[in-house]
């Protein structure tokens, strides 16, 4: 797909992502969708209203009535779609820097469009083949006020409120000036937690921190955990579909470690869990310990969601899936990443022991990364051929759906061309640093040697 990547369309607002472009996406999506009504939602970005207006006008032009649901987290928009039975155009750039914006398309079932549906929208978009209607059939817009509250109420009903309330937790919350500012504080209060916040005023200029919830951006949250003696710190990205945690000492917890802890609590023997080819050894170890099966997809949440749909259609149970960046899905609740819901599932675990102990079994894995640069396409192809040969001859289980991943049982290595730079990235992970280094060096040397064949 040229326009829709693995997480929708993103670009610098008003340069790459202009109102005209967003309007054409809406014209295309509206032409494909059968529904008479489509909702438009946005996160807190400064350009959100401008682009939401463009989407709404495109939809009206192809005869759709438009529900303007305002600022909501992406999972809140998905909840609205499912409840109202209408597709949604969500204006968000998720974790990207403030100058970005983007478009995510959600079906009337509340689930992100599959690759097939996105391809149909993209064909219309590239051909500019839109089903515009005569003037007297254009759609009407109306504001819908209750989307946030309904989302919070639904999430509250879906978690173990009694257990969480009885744990008497103090939550330090950093919604990062994003859409979660308008839903997560009340969500955790209504779960019975004491809530203290930082960066909790919605602001599209993101003055306190960038929207991406990584350790480098979250120093204030660690400080707040310590200053308020909180039991846990929770951070969201700009559209609050992700949750990253701090423990009770104010230490950053790796997303891979919390994902593994959540998976260990959910998975049983006949279950399947789905993650991407860069999945941590921690999740591999959890599936090993629980007897569940791990399925890998190419990197990107759209691929994970598409695979879960296929597995569920075959009758499989997928209680948890996702990635180590804080984007976790609990498909029995909804086939969507949801930062607040994920955080509540983590709070359920804190009823028994402190956060540091919950993640302790999944701590202390070693990651090693190497970048191998190339100058020409011929060099890249020769190196990938060497990676393939290395994968075939290794005493490991290979996965070749997105680069070359080799699982050795206790450790893994992945070689994969970067999408943005002229490098092949090599990742390795094991419990022991020496083991991870050994695997990374082995793969790197084999791939470098292949470069000579260019």
Nearer to Mg ion, 237 or 429 (CB): 237
According to DSSP, the β-strands at 37-42 and 65-71 are: parallel
Query: How many chain residues touch Mg ion (CB under 5 A)?
Result: 4
Residue with tokens 């489509």: 38
Residue with tokens 């090693």: 368
CB of 245 to Mg ion, least distance (A): 16
CA dist., res. 314 & res. 312, Å (int): 5
The four Cα atoms 71, 76, 77, 80 give a dihedral, to 10 degrees, of -120
Tokens of 320: 């948890």
CB of 237 to Mg ion, least distance (A): 4
Nearer to Mg ion, 280 or 325 (CB): 325
CB of 337 to Mg ion, least distance (A): 7
**Contact of 242 with 212, CB cutoff 8 Å:** no
Cα 388 to the center of its chain, rounded Å: 29
Task: Note the residue count of the chain.
Answer: 454
Check residue 428 and report its DSSP letter: E
Nearer to Mg ion, 335 or 436 (CB): 335
Residue 6 backbone dihedrals phi, psi, to 5 degrees: -75, -5
288-292 LR contacts (CB < 8 Å, sep 24+) = 289/264, 290/263, 290/264, 292/267, 292/268
Nearer to Mg ion, 94 or 281 (CB): 94
Check residue 319 and report its DSSP letter: -
CB of 182 to Mg ion, least distance (A): 15
Q: Helix H segments across 204-336?
A: 219-228, 255-266, 281-290, 301-313
Residue 9's DSSP bridge partners are 103
Rule CB under 5 A: which of 220-249 touch Mg ion? 237, 239, 241
CA-wise closest residue to 114 among 249, 332, 246, 300 = 300
Q: Give yes or no: 356 in active site.
A: no
CB of 316 to Mg ion, least distance (A): 26
CB of 341 to Mg ion, least distance (A): 13
Q: Is 429 in the site for Mg ion (CB under 5 A)?
A: no
According to DSSP, the β-strands at 232-235 and 170-174 are: parallel
Give the residue closest to Mg ion by C-beta: 94
Rule CB under 5 A: which of 41-100 touch Mg ion? 94
CA dist., res. 229 & res. 170, Å (int): 8
Nearer to Mg ion, 10 or 68 (CB): 10
Options 57, 94, 275, 301, the catalytic residue: 94
Nearer to Mg ion, 112 or 241 (CB): 241
Nearer to Mg ion, 57 or 94 (CB): 94
Residue with tokens 């819908």: 144
Residue 70, CA distances (Å) to 53, 148, 205, 360 in order: 11, 9, 18, 40
CB of 187 to Mg ion, least distance (A): 17
CB of 372 to Mg ion, least distance (A): 30
Nearer to Mg ion, 94 or 101 (CB): 94
Exposed/middle/buried for residue 141 (C-beta within 10 Å: 0-12, 13-18, 19+): middle
**Contact of 240 with 178, CB cutoff 8 Å:** yes
CA dist., res. 133 & res. 218, Å (int): 48
Q: Which residues are known catalytic residues?
A: 94
Residues of this chain that interact with Mg ion (CB under 5 A) are 94, 237, 239, 241
């Amino acid at each position: 797909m040229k326009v829709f990547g693995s997480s929708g369309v993103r670009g610098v607002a008003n340069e790459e992502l202009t109102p005209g472009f967003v309007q054409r996406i809406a014209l295309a999506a509206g032409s494909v969708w059968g529904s008479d009504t489509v909702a438009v939602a946005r996160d807190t970005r400064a350009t959100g209203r401008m682009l939401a207006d463009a989407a709404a006008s495109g939809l009206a032009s192809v005869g759709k009535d438009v529900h303007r649901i305002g600022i909501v987290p992406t999972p809140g928009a998905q909840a609205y779609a499912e409840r109202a039975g209408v597709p949604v155009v969500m204006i968000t750039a998720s974790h990207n820097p403030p100058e970005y914006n983007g478009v995510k398309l959600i079906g009337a079932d509340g689930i992100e469009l599959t690759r097939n549906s996105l391809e149909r929208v993209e064909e219309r978009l590239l051909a500019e083949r839109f089903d515009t209607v005569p003037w007297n059939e254009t759609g009407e817009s109306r504001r819908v006020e209750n989307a946030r509250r309904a989302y919070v109420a639904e999430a509250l009903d879906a978690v173990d409120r009694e257990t969480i309330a009885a744990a008497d937790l103090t939550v330090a919350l950093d919604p990062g000036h994003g859409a979660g500012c308008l839903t997560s504080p009340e969500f955790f209060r209504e779960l019975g937690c004491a809530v203290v916040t930082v960066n909790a005023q919605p602001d599209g200029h993101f003055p306190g921190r960038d929207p991406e919830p990584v350790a480098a951006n979250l120093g204030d949250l660690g400080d707040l955990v310590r200053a308020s003696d909180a039991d846990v710190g929770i951070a969201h990205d700009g559209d609050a579909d992700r949750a990253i945690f701090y423990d009770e000492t104010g230490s950053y917890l790796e997303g891979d470690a919390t994902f593994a802890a959540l998976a260990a609590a959910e998975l049983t023997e006949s279950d399947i869990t789905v993650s991407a080819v860069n999945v941590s050894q921690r999740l591999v170890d959890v599936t090993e310990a629980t007897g569940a099966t791990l399925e890998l997809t190419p990197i990107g949440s759209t691929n994970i969601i598409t695979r879960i749909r296929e597995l569920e259609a075959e009758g499989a149970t997928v209680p948890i899936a996702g990635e180590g960046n804080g984007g976790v899905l609990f498909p029995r609740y909804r086939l969507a990443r949801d930062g607040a819901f994920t955080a509540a599932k983590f709070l359920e675990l804190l009823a028994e022991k402190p956060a540091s102990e919950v993640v302790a079994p999944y701590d202390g894995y070693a990651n090693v990364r190497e970048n191998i640069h190339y100058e020409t396409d011929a060099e890249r192809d020769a190196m990938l051929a060497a990676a393939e040969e290395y994968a075939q001859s290794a005493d490991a289980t290979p996965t070749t759906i997105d680069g070359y991943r080799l699982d050795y049982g206790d450790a893994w290595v992945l070689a994969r061309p970067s999408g943005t730079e002229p490098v092949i990235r090599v990742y390795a992970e094991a419990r022991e640093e020496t083991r991870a280094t050994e695997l990374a060096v082995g793969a790197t040397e084999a791939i470098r040697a292949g470069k000579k064949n260019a």
